[in-house]
Structure 1
Amino acid sequence: MDPYAIIVKPHVTEKTMNLIDQNNELTFVVNRESNKNSIKRAIEQLYDVKVEKVNTHISSKGIKLAYIKLTEEEDAEDIAVKMGVF
């Protein structure tokens, strides 16, 4: 599947901004049919980073969120700046 079809957009809230700073995690709205492996491959292809783990959550509004924890070598804040979150 195309990485652009899997990753819909970054999810930016006060909580996700804290996750970037404290846990080296990024949060994205993803396609509802995507699984953790496809999300991991899409993030690694699009942003050229190494992903440690992926957690997913379907919100009460029916939106699937993916919490992407990056490896220690990667910096989530740098990726967020490149995406225009800051």
Structure 2
Amino acid sequence: MNAIVKHSEERLMKVLLAPVISEKATFVAEKNEQVVFLVAKDATKLEVKAAVELLFKVEVESVQVANRQGKQKRSRNGMGRRNHTRRAFVSLKPGQEINFTEEAK
């Protein structure tokens, strides 16, 4: 919990943007016991760890971060690009679990 002290709570509330709910994220969650979040582009691993521990009251074992390039798309106005995103793969300590349906209530 000492990672929470080093970062302001206001900043930590802005780090996690949304959980990623997709087929691939669900597969990763079941196989590797990880949770996938969409995070701010300038978020660090320590900030992600502190934010998850603060918001969900769980213990985080490790965090891996991946930058995803936005896909190029063609429309009648020419070529465009979707926004780049940053995802965090959060490994929880054994026995820890995040249930998004309960947190929303």
2:37 counterpart residue number: 28
TM-score (norm. length: structure 1) = 0.85
Q: How many residues align?
A: 82
1:70 counterpart residue number: 92
> Which structure has the greater CA radius of gyration?
2
The alignment yields a C-alpha RMSD, in angstroms, of 1.5
The DSSP-based 3-state class of the residue aligned with 2:65 is strand
The DSSP-based 3-state class of the residue aligned with 2:46 is helix
Structure with higher strand content: 2
Deviations 1:4-44 (A, max 9, x none): 20000011110111122221110000011110001000000
TM-score (norm. length: structure 2) = 0.71
Q: Compared with structure 1, are the counterparts of its residues 83 and 16 closer, same or farther at alpha carbon in structure 2 (3 Å cutoff)?
A: farther
d(CA) in 1 for partners of 2:51, 2:32:
20
d(CA) in 2 for partners of 1:40, 1:11:
16
Q: Compared with structure 1, are the counterparts of its residues 81 and 24 closer, same or farther at alpha carbon in structure 2 (3 Å cutoff)?
A: farther
Runs of 4+ in 1 over 6 A off after TM superposition: none
Q: Compared with structure 1, are the counterparts of its residues 21 and 10 closer, same or farther at alpha carbon in structure 2 (3 Å cutoff)?
A: same
Match of 2:49 among 40, 54, 62: 40
Where structure 2 has 5 or more consecutive residues not aligned to the other structure, the ranges are: 1-7, 71-83
d(CA) in 1 for partners of 2:67, 2:14:
18
Where structure 1 has 5 or more consecutive residues not aligned to the other structure, the ranges are: none
